[in-house]
Amino acid sequence: MKKLIALALAATAVFAQAQTYPGTKPISFVVPFAAGGPTDRVARDLAEAMRKAMGGSANFVVENVNGAGGTIGMAKVAKASNDGHTLLVHHIGMAAAPGLYRKLSFKVADDFEFLGMINEVPMTLIGKPQLPANTYRDFENYIRTNAGKLNIAHAGLGSASHLCGLMWQSRLQASEAMTTIPFGGTAPAMNALVGGQVDVMCDQTTNTTGQIEAGRVKAFAVTTAKPMSNHKLLKDYPTLQEMGLKGFELTIWHGLYAPKGTPPAVLTQLNNALKIALKDPEFIKKQEGLGAVVVTDKRVEPANHKAFVAAETAKLKPVIEAAGKFAD
Ligand code: ASP
């Protein structure tokens, strides 16, 4: 009997929580990179779509906690209060960090609730506008003939741009080619590229599309397996596979996470709002225009997304190890 009463009380508490959440307190999306970059952009667009999905009264804020390739923001959310008011919007770094950092203050699989996947985004290899090369072939030749003199920008150890640069340099067997320059996100890295202070970067299309279109950077290749024939701008660039880097493919995904122990009713509410947001035509249109594909499959379910991240972690480990000698 006592057990039944306890169960009933617990159920009432869960129900009450679902009734009162989120209330007037804002839901903070922690973005582990600088404002204005690709992760930040996804987070801001998603916040708007989820606000609508939750009836328009939920109040979302975006907090940029950058540094150490996203792991500072990850640690902040892992240790945050698990009341559903602090969430993490992050990318493939959830799977890369465990393979790249010898010591992390959290465990991805144990310290987060997985709310679901948001989108998939290809990357583009771009260069400063002053580079003499206009095609990928010329670009690669330029890199080889200027080995040791060039800089490649990224968003810190374990970031998507770092990963892409590592994989690319390792496939070129051009260990001596470039010095890596870390930034707090690829928004400031992009400013440095546009300004000519760094030479090369590989970044999500959600950050590069507008800059390529405006002619502020030069684009050389995309990282998809097949050409992006459906994209009005990016269809004009070759894949790295077409350029001879057999099997090269890198797609960045973004997901939504909460601290471990967030109440199940709150997680369900957030996951439902995420699913509605991912069907929002305005959100889809914005993402597609920037080359991203909004997730429509079962990876939007928490358990499936968690399994996907675990599979990505296992898949990236040997890639990181092979490319590791290019890290500095
Ligand atoms: N695109 C960045 C990365 O390379 C992160 C960002 O600024 O969103 O991981």
Kind and range of the H or E run holding 193: helix 186-194
| CATH number, domain 2-121+252-323, options 3.40.50.970, 3.30.1490.190, 3.40.50.10540, 3.40.190.150 | 3.40.190.150
pLDDT score, position 252: 96
Q: Give the confidence band of 14 by pLDDT, cuts at 50, 70, 90.
A: very low
CATH of 123-222, picked from 3.20.20.80, 3.40.190.10, 2.30.29.30, 3.30.365.10, is 3.40.190.10
13 or 218, greater pLDDT? 218
CA of 185 to the centre of ligand 1 (A): 5
CA-closest candidate to residue 148, choices 180, 126, 192: 180
pTM of the model: 0.90
| Helix, strand, or coil (residue 149) | coil
Q: What angle do CA 274, 309, 26 make, to 5 degrees?
A: 35
- In the reported structure, the alpha carbon of residue 37 is separated from the centroid of ligand 1 by a whole-number distance in angstroms of 6
For residues 138-152, give the mean pLDDT.
92
Interval 198-210 mean pLDDT = 95
Residue bearing the CA closest to ligand 1, atom 2: 186
Q: What is the 21 CA–ligand 1 centroid distance (Å)?
A: 31
Lowest mean pLDDT among 16-20, 55-59, 60-64, 224-228: 16-20
Q: What is the reported pLDDT for 115?
A: 98
What is the CB < 6 Å shell around ligand 1?
A: 33-34, 37-40, 154-155, 159-161, 185-187, 203-204
pLDDT at 15 over 70: no
Q: Give the residue whose CA is nearest to atom 5 of ligand 1.
A: 185
The predicted structure's pLDDT at residue 157: 87
Rounded to the nearest angstrom, the distance between the alpha carbon of 133 and the centre of ligand 1 is 25
- 3-class DSSP state for residue 148? coil
CA of 17 to the centre of ligand 1 (A): 35
Whether 259 contacts 80, CB under 8 Å: yes
Local confidence band at 2 (pLDDT 50, 70, 90 cut-offs) = low
Share of the chain above pLDDT 90, in %: 78
Instruction: Tell which atom from ligand 1 comes closest to the C-alpha of 164.
Output: 4
pLDDT of residue 172: 84
| Domains 2-121+252-323 and 123-222 agree in fold | yes
pLDDT reported for residue 101: 83
For 303, counting Cβ atoms within 10 Å of its Cβ (0-12 exposed, 13-18 middle, 19+ buried), the class is: exposed
Nearest CA to ligand 1 atom 7: 185
Residue 47: strand pairing partners? none
**What is the average pLDDT across 158-172?**
89
Q: What is the pLDDT of residue 209?
A: 94
**pLDDT tens, 98-127?**
888 878 999 999 999 999 999 999 999 999
The type of residue at 279 is: K
Q: Which of 159, 164, 252 for mutating ligand 1's site (highest number of atoms within 8 Å of CB)?
A: 159
pLDDT band at 20 (very low <50, low <70, confident <90, very high): confident
Contact 158, 96 (CB under 8 A): yes
Percent of the chain predicted with pLDDT > 70: 91
Per-residue pLDDT, 328: 43
pLDDT at 64 over 50: yes
What is the rounded average pLDDT of the residues 267-294? 96
Ligand 1 centroid distance, CA of 85 (Å): 23
* Boundaries of every domain in the chain: 2-121+252-323, 123-222
pLDDT at position 140 over 80:
yes
> Would you place residue 175 in the very low, low, confident or very high pLDDT band (cuts 50, 70, 90)?
low
